[in-house]
Amino acid sequence: MIREYAVDPDVICSDLNIFQRFLSDFGSDKGRVIGAIPGQWYKEFERRVQKLGLRTIAKRKCFDDLGKLNTTSLVARDRKPLGDTAWLDKATSLNEEEVFNGILTSAVSINENQYDYFNMLECCPDNWEIEQTQSVERKAAELACAIERSLYLASKPVLFIDPYFNPLDDDYRLPFMEFVNRLTSGRFNVKKVYLHTCEQNYDDLAKRKNRGDLERGMFENIKPLLPEGFIVELWIWPNKDIHDRFVLTNHVGYSFGHGLSEVQYQDAINVNINRLGETSRAGEHRKFSRSAGRLGDAITVDGV
């Protein structure tokens, strides 16, 4: 549900109409992130935008939009400056190390994954149109696979929010560990997640969970499964503050309609996984990153 592209600054900033199309095409909330070439990506684009001859207000708007992409939709590939290397040569070299979903430039070479951004009607990368919502079976591997690329590209700790999460229950533990395993094999080797949940006081004793149950489950059932050095920090919230299930990275966020849990019976309803707009992702990320409202201290476990 998210893809990474290299975008040629000379092409994007060659014309105001092309630049505006670029701004409408890209953004993690639209499913397209940018592999940063060169390392000083924002400065390189800023310098070229200066040459578009925009008036002050329009120029400020362009810089604001670039700043948003730089914050949420830029993914490190090579932090080095170009030097004497041509941009396309650098992009082609990096593509050989790890394939982009497309190199958007002024040339077309399908074998080298290059596409002419001036004329995407005739030839564009496979799967250019990216779905906002995906329906998957409620199986651990399917849930994690749907957002695997987003976990792979995460460069900061990921937030998991689920009011019903119970580490004592396989239906919750198995999907969570699928997410963790994909995160640890990512480009940036993230070593921590934050898990946010709440206590449940059901009449059905089998569904009840209090702080003691959560602590026991984290130490007995989650800790032994964690990769070495990986940390999970679980926070408990009042029930009124958590209603939906989310997975939030520093780039993109997803809501999980019917849940982040696996089900064992046949004909279970599929889960609709929806990629959030940036305003929603940022709002949820901000809410759960603040300590205000949490109940007690964190329950922290780490892999050994």
**154-186 per-position pLDDT tens digit:** 999 999 999 999 999 999 999 999 999 999 999
Residue 4 bridge partners (DSSP): 33
pLDDT, position 295 = 95
Asked whether the whole model's pTM tops 0.95, one would answer no
Q: To the nearest whole number, what is the mean pLDDT of the chain?
A: 93
User: Among the residues of the chain, which ranges form H helices?
Assistant: 9-12, 16-25, 41-49, 56-72, 87-97, 140-146, 148-153, 170-184, 211-217, 278-289
Q: Which one is the CATH code of 3-116: 1.10.3470, 3.90.25, 3.30.70, 3.40.50? A: 3.40.50
Give Cα separations from 29 to 54, 156, 261, 303 (angstroms): 27, 17, 24, 32
Domain boundaries, the chain: 3-116, 133-302
Mean predicted confidence (pLDDT) in 279-292: 95
Which CATH architecture describes the domain 133-302?
Answer: 2-Layer Sandwich (3.30)
Same fold flag, 3-116 and 133-302: no
Residue 119 pLDDT level (bands cut at 50, 70, 90): very high
